[in-house]
Amino acid sequence: MKRWIAGVLCAAGMMVTGMADAQDLMVEKKVFDLPSFTTQSGRTLKNVKVGWESYGTLNADKSNAVLICHFFSGNSHAAGKYEAADAAPGYWDAIIGPGKAIDTNKYFVLASDTLVNLNTGDPKTTTTGPASIDPDTGKPYALDFPVVTVGDFVNVQKALVESLGIRKLALVAGPSMGALQTYEWAASHPEMVAKAMPVIGAAEADAQLIAWLDVWAAPILVDQNWNKGDYYGRTPPNAGLAKALAVVTLQANHAEWANATFGRRPAKPDEAPAKALGNRFQIQSILDNAGEARAKVSDANHFLYLIKANQLYAAGGTSLADAATKIKAPVLLITQPKDLVFTADMIEHTADTLRKGGVNVTQAFIQGTRGHLDGVISMKQAEGAIRAFLEK
Amino acid sequence: MKRWIAGVLCAAGMMVTGMADAQDLMVEKKVFDLPSFTTQSGRTLKNVKVGWESYGTLNADKSNAVLICHFFSGNSHAAGKYEAADAAPGYWDAIIGPGKAIDTNKYFVLASDTLVNLNTGDPKTTTTGPASIDPDTGKPYALDFPVVTVGDFVNVQKALVESLGIRKLALVAGPSMGALQTYEWAASHPEMVAKAMPVIGAAEADAQLIAWLDVWAAPILVDQNWNKGDYYGRTPPNAGLAKALAVVTLQANHAEWANATFGRRPAKPDEAPAKALGNRFQIQSILDNAGEARAKVSDANHFLYLIKANQLYAAGGTSLADAATKIKAPVLLITQPKDLVFTADMIEHTADTLRKGGVNVTQAFIQGTRGHLDGVISMKQAEGAIRAFLEK
């Protein structure tokens, strides 16, 4: 994801933030194996694997662990670099590291790849999903993979956390789908979560979000190469997946950025958009190119399973109102009012409902021209709020 | 379009407004023939035909004509009924008719289908576009049809208006793409427009709108049956077109409607969305079904040409700022602040820029839970503003 954002940003003549630290945190990607995992739908999967990484040192009584949960198209790489030459550090490097808001001199920060992670073609991502080999058949699961939920993502993380001897997390946090996992942790495992910091995310998918997620999925479902999910060893539905990823990029940004960056400039000065149906404006080619590049290292079925998990989502597995009675941790909710994915109305509905249920909710807001994406790339703005929340 | 909206609304347990009038305006659909029409791109087309209809009577000095321009997926049927048994009248019947805000006892109101109109399978729509037979080849134009613009739509209307001997329009008005045509009339033919009433539309497509229109088009482009536009006589890309139309429906509505109407109810009570990848929530099936029904009477290439015309759009053919110096008519701009297609930011940018250019702009706002669509179905709210504007 980092490379993807970097790609779109560099194309737009901008730089990724958070690259100024003289001493980068160096990180190693690891793999967590679960010999057996039973999904909330009741299917038992063998040999479940997810990638993970950590920053800082777990203390003797294992009380300083912080879990970071990733967004829809992300992976565990929340901070630091794998190699000094990496173009950019992890996505929340601005707030995770030595002396930073989530201080790795104090906290042991860990993050894992989810089930059905999108980035199947990225050597630094390890996941289990439709593209994985089913040990029982020796072939990819494809659509025989069970529907999985955000609750399943969290239960895999819980097994990882427990394997390290950690019984309570000082903080669970994450942006977007990471926020969904954060609420889920706090509602389903309240005894294990001291504090929760959901960022740019609501605690339940409403009808509007469910429908928009269908818009993201539509180009894949229409692509005949999708073939009802049976495309492994054949031509994958990358035309559909590329368009799907272009939609995600657009909705994760905001008009202020699009208009200021691209305006009505043509993609190519000598190919005026009015001259031919296929001649494009710059914003069209930028989004298409980013989608096509990303599709090459992503899996269409994983995309659809992620969509499904997000559509099914209600914190705690039942409803937002129910979750509000289960969550015990104080919540720092950080959002961007211009967010086009989790709109201000959705966020206020979550905050109000949690408060009515007795949850201690503090809100902080990020500004910027990127909308949803500001919750990933502009998090340095929130460092004061995060420090205050952790010190409380 | 009326039937489409009615379909979505009835599915949602709601009724179309404007059906209470004891005496319906009865309307006849007619066809306007242009033996030759040269597009702004320089192509001359033979035998251009568009449908049109009118309400009220043209007065002796032909000074009482009002032109209504239709939205993206609409046609000329702005008011009245073709037959008494019609399920619903034209889309703006609430404001057009005897004694209504646009009073057909006083005004001669006319409306035409645009070029590349979407509704090629509707017997009440007549249009010329990629699905039409090219007289030179005897085959459908397909992608050999030239790119057409909103300026071309207006120039065809101008030929129709002039064929009736009308030299100046008392009012040009329309919602959404109809607003685009309204600004275009006022900027390109200022001597022919006494007053202009754009509704739920801005006077220029910005980068953000250009990109969102690509989201609408994406499912068609990905559908292999689209076959680069060459599908006449074969299987049309209706899977893609249906998804495209579902996206339009969603963006033309608002979260308040979606959430209040559908919530998280499953499409079928015995097929829980969590149980299978294909099990849907109600909002998913409602949008998909509406898209599929509509696709059967629509043409995918026409959809893409409409997208292109909207992406290319800047009032007067150059830019909003330039249009602001050309428009002489006073403007009544009616919008819905919750509109997700033409957002409040876009509308304010248009209003501000027109005013800076010296245009007399009055703004009025419609409320409701439908967002963009309120500019079609909730127009009765604006009748006071419209009457005042026409009487000035």
> Residue A143 and residue B263: Cβ atoms within 8 Å?
no
Nearest CA to CA, how far is A229 from chain B (Å)? Answer: 11
Residue B4 lies in a domain: no
* Domain annotation covers residue B137: yes
pLDDT value of residue A24:
79
pLDDT band at A15 (very low <50, low <70, confident <90, very high): very low
Q: Which of A252, A197, A185, A171 is nearest to A364 (CA)?
A: A197
Q: Domain count for chain A, please give it.
A: 1
Asked if A287 is an interface residue toward chain B (Cβ–Cβ < 8 A), one would say yes
State whether residue A275 sits within 8 Å of chain B by CB. Answer: yes
- Sorting pLDDT into bands at 50, 70 and 90, what band is A61? very high
The residue range of the domain holding A384 is: 2-391
Position B206: which residue type?
A: D
Please list every residue in chain A whose beta carbon sits closer than 8 Å to the beta carbon of residue B211: 250, 258, 283-284, 287
Q: What is the pLDDT of residue B24?
A: 78
**Which residues on chain B are in Cβ contact (under 8 Å) with A212?**
250
B264 touches chain A (CB under 8 A): yes
* Chain mean position to CA B65: 20
pLDDT of residue A19: 45
User: Pick the catalytic residue: A223, A372, A374, A378?
Assistant: A372
Which of 22-51 (A) contact B at CB < 8 A? 40-41
What is the overall mean pLDDT for chain A? 95
Give phi and psi for A250, each to the nearest 5.
Answer: -65, -50
List active site positions of B: 176, 339, 372
When CB atoms are compared, the residue of A41, A214, A345 closest to B284 is A214
Q: What's the pLDDT band for A213 if we cut at 50, 70, 90?
A: very high
Chain A residues inside the 8 Å CB shell of B143: 277
Please report whether residue B276 resides in a domain. Answer: yes
Chain A residues close to B254, C-beta within 8 Å: 208
In a domain, B274, yes or no: yes
pLDDT at B11: 37
Q: Does the CB of A342 have a partner CB in chain B at under 8 Å?
A: no
- Which percentage of chain A shows pLDDT scores above 70? 94
Active-site residue, A54 included? no
**What string of H, E and C letters represents the secondary structure of chain A?**
CHHHHHHHHHHCCCCCCCCCCCCCCECCCEEEEEEEEECCCCCEEEEEEEEEEEECCCCCCCCCEEEECCCCCCCCCCCCECCCCCCCCCCCCCCEECCCCEECCCCEEEEECCCCCCCCCCCCCCCCCCCCEECCCCEECHHHCCCCCHHHHHHHHHHHHHHCCCCCECEEEEECHHHHHHHHHHHHCHHHECCEEEECCCCECCHHHHHHHHHHHHHHHHCHHHHHHCCCCCCCCHHHHHHHHHHHHHHCCCHHHHHHHHCCCECCCCCCCCCCCCCCEHHHHHHHHHHHHHHCCCCHHHHHHHHHHHHHCEHHHCCHHHHHHHCCCCEEEEECCCCCCCCHHHHHHHHHHHHHCCCCEEEEECCCCCHHHHHHHCHHHHHHHHHHHHHC
Minimal CA separation from A280 to chain B, in Å: 10
Task: Using a CB–CB cutoff of 8 Å, tell me whether B383 touches chain A.
Answer: no
Please report, in tens digits, the pLDDT of each residue of chain B (392 residues total).
444 444 444 333 333 444 444 577 999 999 999 999 999 999 999 999 999 999 999 999 999 999 999 999 999 999 999 999 999 999 999 999 999 999 999 999 999 999 999 999 999 999 999 999 999 999 999 999 999 999 999 999 999 999 999 999 999 999 999 999 999 999 999 999 999 999 999 999 999 999 999 999 999 999 999 999 999 999 999 999 999 999 999 999 999 999 999 999 999 999 999 999 999 999 999 999 999 999 999 999 999 999 999 999 999 999 999 999 999 999 999 999 999 999 999 999 999 999 999 999 999 999 999 999 999 999 999 999 999 999 99
Which of B243, B277, B283 lies nearest to residue A218, judging by beta carbons?
A: B243
Evaluate if residue A10 carries a pLDDT over 80: no
Chain B nearest C-alpha distance from A264 (Å): 6
User: B274 contacts in A (CB within 8 Å)?
Assistant: 40-41, 147, 149, 312
Cβ contacts (< 8 Å) between A261 and chain B: which residues?
A: 207
B321 part of contact set with chain A, CB < 8 Å: no
Mean pLDDT of A281-304: 98
- The enclosing domain of B216 has a CATH number of 3.40.50.1820
What residues does A173 pair with on adjacent strands?
A68, A197
Asked if residues B75 and B117 have their Cβ atoms less than 8 Å apart, the reply is yes
Chains A, B: CB contacts under 8 A, how many? 152
**Distance (Å) from the C-alpha of residue B63 to the closest C-alpha of chain A?**
35
